[in-house]
Amino acid sequence: MIRQKGFTLLETMLALFIFSMLSMLAYQILSGALKTNERTQVTLQRMNALQRTMGMLERDILQSLPRVPRGAEKSWHQDENGFAFTTQSRPNAWGHCCSPEILRVNWQLRNGTLHRLVQRAVDAPADSEPLDAPLLDNVEKMSLRFYQQGWKSKPDPQQPLPSGIEITLVLKDFGAINRVFVLPAAWPAYQETTSEDKPEGEQKEPVDADQPVSPPDEESSAHAGSNE
């Protein structure tokens, strides 16, 4: 009589138990990897949004202009929710085909989100709608300080222009983030152009704040060289 060999019930149950344990372990590893990847992607997106916001802040501040809007007393406006000033669309440098566009930028903190509002006309009517771009969310607080013979919460009009500005953003996930920017008033070239005095009896020609500085004309340069 030939006896048939096979698995017993105990061996089958033991094999199923081992297989279920291995499956559960593999599921936990895969689930952990997916959650880690998701958290990494969220963190990267958050860091990109923060870097993009700080980059736009730096660009606006470094290209700011002392252009006062029509009906206002000063170019810089600040309230408890944000600040507004006049800036350029790109650096004012030689070699560009066109003059940079003068903009009115308003950075506002509303309902935990930092917005950048842009008016493409500095003297735009009060009822005109600016271009609103929400840049950074989960912002609890925004504060400013100005370096004007010491750090101050607001610039003093009786003193020289501030040479630096510190912007602090308090985020729910990253905490407080500080950035210090050097204002154009502190640049040596800016100070030289504003402090130069012409000889007595010679009046300075008015300069339009919206008109960028142009390089010397090639024909006039060539003419001057021929006279020498």
Tens digit of each residue's pLDDT (9 = 90 or more) over 16-27 = 889 999 999 999
Per the structure block, which two tokens stand in for 59?
């660009």
Query: What was the pLDDT predicted at 182?
Result: 85
Q: What is the pLDDT of residues 184-202, one digit of tens each?
A: 766 554 444 444 444 444 4
| C-beta separation of 212 from 99 below 8 A | yes
Model confidence pLDDT, tens digit, residues 144-199: 999 988 898 888 878 877 888 999 999 998 899 999 988 876 655 444 444 444 44
**Three-class secondary structure of residue 176 per DSSP:** strand
Average pLDDT, the chain: 78
* Sequence spans of domains, the chain: 50-138
CB 66 within 8 A of CB 74: no
Closest C-alpha to 112, from 133, 132, 91, 140: 140
Binned at pLDDT 50, 70 and 90, residue 96 comes out as low
The CATH architecture to which 50-138 belongs is: Roll (3.10)
